[in-house]
Structure formats: C-alpha cells, structure tokens
Structure 1
Amino acid sequence: MKNLRLLSVLFIAAIAASCSSIRVSSDYDDRADFTAYKTYGFFKDGIDKADISDLDKKRIMRAIDDEFTKKGYTKSDKPDLLVNFFTKSRKEVNIGNYNNGWGWGYGWGWGGGPWGWGWGGNYTSVRTDTEGTLYIDLVDPDKQELVWQGVGTGLLTQDRDKKQQLINEFVAKILTQFPPEKK
C-alpha cells in the first residue's frame, strides 16, 4: 500500500513538472521600423551589470547569437540594434498535501483480514524551486531608445548539463516574438 501511495505521489509530481513551461511576452515601439534592422551587437556595459555568473552570460549570448543568425541578422561592431539582457529570480516553495482518506482496499483494515475498510493516511511534500525571468532588450543605438523587449519566465535548474538547453529554450521562445508582427 505504501508503494502505491508513493507511486501516486511521484506520478502527480511528474505531471506537475511536465506542465511547467516558459511563459513569454513582448512589447515594442509602434513607430519603430523593424525592417530597417539588419545587424546586431551586444551592449557590454548593460550585460556586465546582469546579476548572474559570467558563464551564464556567455550561455545567453550564444543562444541569442544562434537565434539572430537563424533570423538572418548579422553580428556587427556598428550594429543597427544593441542587445541587452538582465535577469531576476525568486524562490518558490510548493507544498503538496495528499490524503488517501477512507476506503476499501488491500491492507489490514477493520475487516480482520487483508481486505477491509481502513485509513489511507496523509502525505505531505515540500519542494523549493527557483523561478527565473530573462529580459531581452533591443535598443536602437542611433536614437538611444528601447524599441523591443521580450520577457520569459520559468523554472531554473542548477544541473550544469541542462543549463545550456534551458537557456536556449528561454531565448528561442522569447525571440519567437521578434520581429513583431504589426497589425
């Protein structure tokens, strides 16, 4: 019976984990002519201020390079767009309380044998996750104005082997909304 309870808790946890995804949104200047932008470069002063490790900064920059290349943009020392990014994070505590309640089933219950009525018991789980938000800003260097901002929020990992994959997913999902489709 304990194995069945443990299996059901693990199943619920697996479903909850698979439902977590990266939520994205974007905003832009309606007057910006996005067809005029062909090149990009990184805004080093802004990126240096991001409160993450230099290794994660490199990972994000590689992912942005990949996505901009796929979109046909060229990296330049004199870019049409400056790319800046910054991050925020917060701890999230999730408490699950599972009650199997009363019921008929296998196990020593009130029936005097292996089958009968009984109490299934309670199970409480506590999990701490870190939710992170990545902001990608695109600035017109001639006008010195923000023309586009994309935001992605989702659960982070400390698993070194999964970091680049997760960062790639964050950046790709955010940049699916660039350039914006004007209505």
Structure 2
Amino acid sequence: MKKVIILTWSIIVFASCNTVKVVTDYDTAIDFNQYKTFAFYKTGIDKAAISTLDKKRVLRALEAELVAQGFTKSNNPDMLVSFFTKSRRKVNVNQNNNFGWGWGWGWNPWMWGGLNNNNININEYTEGTLFVDFIDKDKKELIWQGIGTGALKIDNVEKKEERIQLFVKEIVSKFPPEKDDK
C-alpha cells in the first residue's frame, strides 16, 4: 500500500509541475479583429532577464504560434509583441501519514498509528513566469497581456525547448480575448 500512496503523490507532484497556469488581462474597449500583423518589440525583449538563447527560443515559439493563428509578421505591423520573465525557487513539502492499514483481519502494529510511518516528499524546483505583451503600434499602448506560470524543466536542451513552447502555446491560445468568451 505504501508504494501506491507514494506513487499517487509522485503523480500529483509531477502533473502539477507539468501544467502552465495562464491568466490574461486586456483593454475591453479594443476591437481585436483590427490586428492582423505583428512585429517584435526589441526594446522590451532586450530587458528580459534570460539568456540570449532562451530569448531566441521564446521568439521562435511566439512567431510560430501567432502565424498558426493567422497573424502575419510584418515590417509595418498593427501590433508589437514583447515579453519578459521572472523566476523564483519553490519548495513543495508533502507529508503522508500511513496508519490504519494492515494485513488481513485482526490487530496489527500499524493500525491506528501503532508505528506511525511518515513519508515526507520534498520537491524543490524553479517556478517561471512568462509575460507576453501585445502593444498597439500606433498608440504605443498595452492592449493585451498573457501571463503563464509553471515549473521550469532545465534537464537538457530538448526539454527546455519543449517547456518554452508549451508556455508560449498556452499563453497565445488565449489571444484574442474573444476566444475566452466562447
């Protein structure tokens, strides 16, 4: 039984680390149908506190997702796309008290806490937040922001690329905001 409980906790921790929580905010007075083209806002992106390689990964993922949604990259865009990042160390501590489980019928030493068997799982990871901003080019005003938060996986380059693509896909899927209302 102990293996089943530990496996269950491991699955919960693993699953929660793989998800990306996304929230959005936007100007409700904007008609988002007017935006068809985009370009990257270099000034904002240069301030992102990540490596140049990761900036390239985010830019490629953003471009791929926006093009997949029907937007066109342009030298004379309707909107500018920028992003920035934040990260922090997180620690999850899960305590699992096993009591009341035993073999067959009758009394056993583990019943009702006789030998309280505590399992403590400690999981330390980096939680990253990616902010994606869409800016009206002519007005120079923020029109939409998507914020994705989740655990970062930095085991190897391939996993890092996959994680960045997942973050970007989850965020950009919420744009334009009319999709949220359907």
| Residue identity matched to 1:62 | R
Match status 1:37 vs 2:49: no
| Conservation of the 8 A alpha-carbon contact between 1:151 and 1:174 | yes
Offset at residue 120 of structure 1 (A): 5.1
Partner residue in 2 for 1:46: 44
Structure 1: any 5+ residue segments left out of the alignment? none
Partner residue in 1 for 2:120: 124
| Residue identity matched to 1:162 | K
Partner residue in 1 for 2:175: 178
* Distance in 2 of aligned mates of 1:101 and 1:130: 33
Aligned residue among 62, 65, 78 for 2:63: 65
1:36-93, CA deviations, whole angstroms, 9 ceiling, x for partnerless residues? 2111111111111100111111111111111111111111122111100001111111
Offset at residue 15 of structure 1 (A): 2.6
**TM-score scaled by length of structure 2:** 0.85
Within 5 Å, give how 1:9-158 maps onto structure 2: 9-20=6-17, 21-101=19-99, 103-105=101-103, 116-118=108-110, 119=115, 121-158=117-154
SS in 2 for 1:137: strand
Offset at residue 7 of structure 1 (A): 5.3
Offset at residue 105 of structure 1 (A): 2.9
Offset at residue 99 of structure 1 (A): 2.0
* Distance in 2 of aligned mates of 1:17 and 1:124: 16
Partner residue in 1 for 2:161: 164
| Conservation of the 8 A alpha-carbon contact between 1:80 and 1:141 | yes
**TM-score scaled by length of structure 1:** 0.84
Offset at residue 147 of structure 1 (A): 0.9
1:1-39, CA deviations, whole angstroms, 9 ceiling, x for partnerless residues? xxx535532331123322442111111112223222111
SS in 2 for 1:18: helix
* Distance in 1 of aligned mates of 2:170 and 2:101: 46
* Distance in 1 of aligned mates of 2:139 and 2:80: 11
| Residue identity matched to 1:37 | Y
SS in 1 for 2:30: coil
